[in-house]
Amino acid sequence: MSLTQTVPSPPSPPPPPLPDAAPIAARALDAVKVYGRGETAVRALDGISADFAARQFTAIMGASGSGKSTLLHCLAGLDRLTSGQVFIAGYELGGLNDHQLTLLRREKVGFIFQSLNLVPTLNAMENIVLPLTIAGRKPDQAVLDAVIQMTGLADRLRHRPTELSGGQQQRVAAARALVSRPEIIFADEPTGNLDSKAGGELLAFLRKAVDDLGQTIVMVTHDAFAASHTDRVIFLADGRLVQEMPSPTTDSILAVVRHLGD
Amino acid sequence: MLKVSLRSLLSHKLRLVLTAVAIILGVTFVAGTLVLTDTIRSTFQGVLSNVDKGVAVVVKGPAPATAVGRLSGATLPLPESVLAKVKTVSGVADAVGVLDRTGVAFLVNGQEVGSREGARGLNWVTDPQLTQFQLTSGTAPQSSGDVVINAATATDAHLTVGQQVQVSFEASAAETFTISGIATWGGQTSIAGEGFALFTLPTAESFLEANSTFDAIDVSAASGVTDLQLRDDVATTLSGSKVQVQTGAQASSQTEQNAVTEINEFIGAPLLVFAFIAVFVGSFLIANTFSILVAQRTQELALLRALGATRGQVFTEVITEAALTGVLASLAGFLLGILVADGLIHIFSSSTKLSVQPDALITSLLVGTIITVIAAALPARRATRIAPVAALRESQPEIQDLPRTRIGFGLLLFLGGVAWLLVILFTASAAAGPSLEALGLSVLAIFLGTALLAPVLVRPVATVLGWPARFRGAPGRLAGENARRNPRRTALTAAALMIGLALVTAVAVITDSLEASINQAIDGTVKAQLVVLDEGSGGFSPQVASTLRSDPRLADISEIRGSDALVGDISTGVTGLDTSNVGSIFSFSMTAGSAASIDTLNTTIVDSTEAATENVHVGSVVDVTFPNGNMVEMTVGGIYTPDALISGYLVSLSTLNPQLSTVRDSDVAMNPAAGVSLSAADASLLNDLRTYPELSGLTKTQYKNLISAGLNTFLNLIYVLLGLAIIIAVVGIINTLALSVLERTRELGLLRAVGMTRGQTREMIAWESVIIALIGAVLGLAVGAGLGIAMVSALHNDGISQTAVPGNNLILYAVAAGLFGILASIFPAIRASHVDVLKAVTSE
């Protein structure tokens, strides 16, 4: 059962007025997300519009409560907007039912979470090919070999998650995200639980995936160092997009973050 | 995805085992029952085919006219003259008359010995083709004082060839015989548990009071003559006589059918009912466990959903785990069941080989697996509702909302079940009684409905029951909160115990009401102060009454006899009373006519319930058919109120006697003679009965105690049979607590970190367990009492006039439930108190 079988091929969204006319992997248009009702209502997303270019490493930054995680969830099809639209690979998510969303996630999206990424009862290799197992497909051997090579974990493939370090687990999760060659990979604070060395290794891995394999990655992080590995950072505050920064460095990011606190 | 299921299953072996235990126990009971009944059946079949090999044709009397619709296999005796006729048929090699009467007892030193089921008396048949018995030692009976006894009795009573033994027939005065030999029947040491005594034909005829009759005529065929041919020839010769002529094979097959039906009805079906109750209770355990497991695996399942697994795939994954568990557990249960059946069979006979049929295996596998899958279906469905977003969050929603639809459905089931039950009970036809299947289903609906409604009751009941726990401070209060935290889970756990206790309570209410009714009947209707009866089989010789009449300390000796009868097409009973002194023995409450009317020949009084059913009034004439086929027109002289002891048609002994082929008393009632104290009369009675050791002489009080003891034995049997269901329910509580302790590791660590001691932790878990158990008890006692009262009320017209709720028993059950709760908490409490505090409070 594949997505194209359930939903007719979507009309392509109108190309954005960008000078280099780069293709868009994901887009949010006037996204609003409200939790709760009446007096206790929380406006987590307050009308955000943002484009995420293909073959680019984008970071979403902001303080707690800025809406960055919510934006990620809604972009990834894990949660639904109250109003507004989200596009992935040309599909408008609001028009898909749960089953179609599931298939979308299976075929077009990859995930790396902060923790609890892996199924504890499967070993590393089985975790890596899990999305394909779910889809009932066999992995592309060339891609699989390449990705495993990149993780540097070829000799630990038979180990269970509890037998791997935090950094190794996250690399396995990253490998899993890559193996099915999705349109876009969403990472939610992937280095959050790692020490600086392991974190650095993971970020280098993700950078390589974008540069060598042409993968699109959108990462939520609060860590300026992590964000410095990306091609572009967008800053959120109180559910709104407040600043964009192409070609970020750690210092320039820290400057913006400090400024945001005013 | 299969791999995910398998790995998940194998990774948590403890949780696999806990789930499986419930299924294993239930399936063991089912499998054990099936193997047991299969073995009993096949043993019987094997022996029968062995025993009747040489018999070509069997001639028997007709079935009793009163045995309408009942497969009993008993036939009326044949006149001796038939034997002579049979011998004239060409093709007959040999024909012998066979006497076979039950009611024989062996006595040594005045004490009854041998099997509890008594023994049969038969004549020794010398023709080796036609005899069913084989000597293992000694010789066949030659003289009138000889007897051949069965090997089992010889072993049990340490009797050998040459010794003397006393034998009595239907509690007549025992006669002394010499054991000339010991024999087996088809290689067995008894006839399915019954002993046997073989005499010479003349001795048998007089001892067994045959009155020139036979019970059957066995015929062997001359060479070259087929059984069928001979059967036809014999039938032709005997046409005009009231006989049944069958080939030997037909006769064995019919006996087999009857035995099989009896085994199924009296052993198989009741045991399977209890087995299914155990399995049903087990299903609650399974549903609960899978519910908890799904909650525990929220993250994992959410991850699968996030990665693109559809709802269908998640559902299948959980169900696959359930199915695998079910199959493995059913297999284990089946093997255990074989062991149990083996053990039980060996108690009775060490030589029997087990008969394990593929049917038993298939049924066990199907029952166990299907129940597991059905029970896991709702939790599996809940698993599909896990939002993929949950993969990112750690905390699980703890306070559960009560979904309205489920409560509505539960209410519907409960009220529907109650209504259905009442309709069944109160509209059941007097003859057939309520349909057992419909009864079972309505009770099932009530249980399911209560289980679904239970979550609503958990909060208020837990508050009330948890109140005393508060006095123990924090542990007690926390325990109350914990029990209320997840009403659905608490309710499901308690529901299992509820079912077991409800059934026990219902049976207790019914037996207590029965006892109260019988006591009331005894006090109300029976004026006699002493009674003689046979606690075992029933009928005894009128000799006894004659002996008692010559005792000056006893007066108003009154014999009571009974017979089956057909009135119209309804099976009923006719009881004959001694009209000369009936007034000093019984007092009837008449609603019409007079009791004295039965003095007149062929006049009867009938109980009001039966009168209403058959539309009979004073002056009506009814046609009464007796087992021997005679039909007598009787006039109804009065209508009386029935009670637990006396119902049906009552006539005088003079009316009844001509219709009986053998005259036997079922009871003899009497009073002390004028001026004699009850104790003196009682002593005298017991003295008179010394020569009839199978009979008991009882005062009214002793009679009541006898009934009470009998009902208690029955109740104890129910306790044992339902015990397994209760054990499963308690395992369920252990299960839930253990898994919930695992879930609450963080929380428990926190409590310990801020100062709760190990002892307090254990106490908290113990209180939780007790509260859950008591919720189950409260619900169970309420539902059970309700069920019992409903059933008793429906039986008001059939003699259970009193509704008695055994308050003491109920309190006992509640206390027992509390104790079970404490027991169940031991293992989880120890685990809870040993939570590693540091590991628990630092985040992963």
Question: What secondary structure does DSSP assign to B368-418, as a single string?
Answer: HHHHHHHHHHHHHHHHHT--GGGGG--PPP-SPP--HHHHHHHHHHHHHHH
CA distance B602 to B420: 43
A107 → chain B, closest CA residue: B308
Residue B371 near residue B282, CB atoms below 8 Å: yes
Interface test with B, best of A119, A122, A162 (most B CBs within 10 A): A119
B194: its two tokens: 């019954």
Tokens 């089956």 -> residue: B564
A131 contacts B391? CB cut-off 8 A:
no
In angstroms, the separation between the Cα of residue A65 and the nearest Cα of chain B is: 15
Contact A194, A202 (CB under 8 A): yes
Q: Is the pLDDT assigned to residue A14 strictly greater than 50?
A: no
Mutate to test the interface with B, among A78, A162, A169 (most CBs of B within 10 A): A78
**Per the CB < 8 Å rule, is A116 touching B394?**
yes
Rounded to whole angstroms, the Cα distance separating B502 from B496 reads 10
Distance spanning both ends of chain B, measured CA to CA: 27
Q: Is A100 on the interface with B (CB under 8 A)?
A: no
Distances in whole angstroms, Cα of residue B221 to Cα of each of B56, B78, B90, B94:
6, 21, 9, 7
CB distance from B303 to chain A under 8 Å? yes
Integer angstrom CA distances of residue A114 from A199, A250, B394, B395, B482: 11, 21, 11, 15, 31
Q: How far apart are CA B33 and CA B360, in angstroms?
A: 9
Touching check for A2 and chain B: CB below 8 Å?
no
- Determine which of B5, B297, B307, B839 to mutate to test the interface with A (most A C-beta atoms within 10 Å): B307
The pLDDT tens digits for B524-566 are 888 899 999 887 666 888 888 998 999 999 988 999 998 888 8
A183 close to B (CB below 8 A): no
Q: Which residue of B has its CA nearest to A185?
A: B307
What does the alpha-carbon distance between residue B792 and residue B774 come to, in Å, rounded to a whole number?
Answer: 26
| CATH 3.40.50.300 matches A55-77+104-261 | yes
Which positions of chain B have pLDDT values less than 50? Answer: 395-399, 843-844
Distance in Å, alpha carbon of A185 to nearest chain B alpha carbon:
11
Contacts of B195 by beta carbon, 8 Å cutoff, 6+ apart: B104, B106, B114, B115, B117, B118, B119, B120, B149, B150, B152, B153
- Tell whether A189 is within 8 A of chain B (Cβ): no
A108, pLDDT greater than 90 = no
Is the minimum CB–CB distance between A134 and chain B shorter than 8 Å?
Answer: yes
Q: Is A46 helix (H, G, I), strand (E, B) or coil?
A: strand
Interchain contact B300–A (C-beta under 8 A): yes
Q: Any CB–CB contact under 8 A between B4 and chain A?
A: yes
Which pLDDT score is estimated for B581?
84
Residue of B nearest to A105 (CA): B308
Sign of CA dihedral B180, B186, B189, B193: negative
Residues near B92 by beta carbon (within 8 Å), at least 6 away in sequence: B86, B219, B220, B221, B222, B230, B234
Angle at which helix A141-151 crosses helix A196-213, to 10 degrees, equals 150
The strand pair at B554-567 and B603-607 is best described as unpaired
Residue A185 confidence (pLDDT): 94
Cβ-based contacts of A188 with chain B (< 8 Å): 392
Q: How far apart are CA B408 and CA B369, in angstroms?
A: 29
Structure-block tokens of residue B704: 């009541």
For the residues of B754-775, what is the DSSP string, one character each? TT--HHHHHHHHHHHHHHHHHH
Query: DSSP 3-state assignment of B577?
Result: strand
Contact B308 A120 (CB under 8 A): no
| Residue among A78, A115, A131 minimizing CB distance to B844 | A115
Checking if the pLDDT of A15 tops 50, the result is no
- Residues forming beta bridges with residue A23, ordered by sequence position: none
B827/chain A closest Cα distance in angstroms: 26
| Mean pLDDT of all residues in A56-70 | 88
Strands, sheet with B216-221, edge to edge from the N-terminal-most edge strand: B92-98, B216-221, B57-60, B244-247
> For residues B641 and B610, what is the distance between their CA atoms, to the nearest angstrom?
10
Alpha helices in B222-268 (DSSP H): 227-237, 248-263
Residue B696's region, left for phi above 0, alpha for psi from -120 to 50, else beta, is beta
**Gap from A78 CA to chain B (nearest CA, Å):** 5
CA distance A113 to chain B (A): 7
Whose tokens are 């099932």? That residue is B444
Interface list for A 36-95 with B (CB within 8 A): 69, 73, 78-79
SS3 A189: coil
Separation in Å, CA of A212 to nearest CA in chain B? 24
Q: What residues in A contact B390, CB-CB < 8 Å?
A: none
Q: Work out the minimum CA distance from A167 to partner chain B, whole angstroms.
A: 14
Instruction: Residue B595: name the closest of B558, B644, B649 by CA.
Output: B649
B308 and A105 within 8 Å at the Cβ level: the answer is: yes
Residue of B nearest to A74 (CA): B389
Task: Tell me if the pTM is above 0.80.
Answer: no
Q: Least CB-CB distance to A121: which of B1, B7, B309?
A: B7
Which of B304, B392, B394 to mutate: most A Cβ within 10 Å?
B392
Residue A262 is predicted with a pLDDT of 56
Q: Does A225 contact chain B (CB < 8 Å)?
A: no
**What's the Rg (C-alpha) of chain A?**
18
Q: Cα angle vertex A57, ends A54, A62, to 5°? A: 120
Backbone angles phi, psi at B161, to 5 degrees: -60, 135
B296 touches chain A (CB under 8 A): no
Reported ipTM? 0.71
- The confidence band for A18, taking pLDDT boundaries of 50, 70 and 90, is very low
Binning pLDDT at 50, 70 and 90, where does residue A1 land?
very low
CA distance B90 to B225: 10
Q: What integer best gives the mean pLDDT of chain A?
A: 84
**CB-neighbour burial class of residue B317 (10 A; exposed 0-12, middle 13-18, buried 19+):** buried
A116 near B CB under 8 A: yes
Whole-angstrom CA distances from B81 to B201, B202, B217, B781 are 15, 15, 11, 64
The answer to whether the Cβ–Cβ distance between B311 and A99 falls below 8 Å is yes
Would you call B306 and A78 a contact, using CB atoms and an 8 Å cutoff?
Answer: yes
Identify whether the C-beta of residue B643 lies closer than 8 Å to the C-beta of residue B657. Answer: no
Partner-chain residue, chosen from B7, B308, B389, that has the shortest CB–CB distance to A103: B308
Give the model's pLDDT for residue B468.
78
CB contact under 8 A, B300 and A79: no
How far is B502 from B778, CA to CA, in rounded Å?
9
Is the pLDDT at A32 greater than 90? The verdict is yes
With an 8 Å Cβ cutoff, is A106 touching chain B? Answer: yes
Burial of B264 (0-12, 13-18, 19+ CB in 10 A): middle
8 Å CB contact of B304 and A134: yes
What confidence tier does A85 reach under pLDDT thresholds 50, 70, 90? very high
- Using CA of residue B242, residue B248, residue B250, residue B253, what is the dihedral sign? positive
Torsion of CA B664, B669, B675, B681, to 10 degrees: 80
Contact in structure between B334 and B361 (CB atoms under 8 Å): yes
Find, in chain A, the residue whose alpha carbon is nearest to that of B11: A121
Q: Tell me whether residues A103 and B310 touch, CB distance under 8 A.
A: yes
Whether B299 and B396 have beta carbons less than 8 Å apart is answered as no
Q: Does A162 touch chain B (CB under 8 A)?
A: no
**Chain B residues close to A176, C-beta within 8 Å:** 307
Task: Please check whether residue B394 touches A, CB under 8 A.
Answer: yes
Residue B310: which of A73, A99, A188 has the nearest Cβ? A99
To probe the interface with B, which of A75, A81, A121, A185 has the most B CB atoms within 10 Å? A121
Q: Are strands A232-237 and A24-35 parallel, antiparallel or unpaired?
A: unpaired
pLDDT over 90 (residue A29): yes
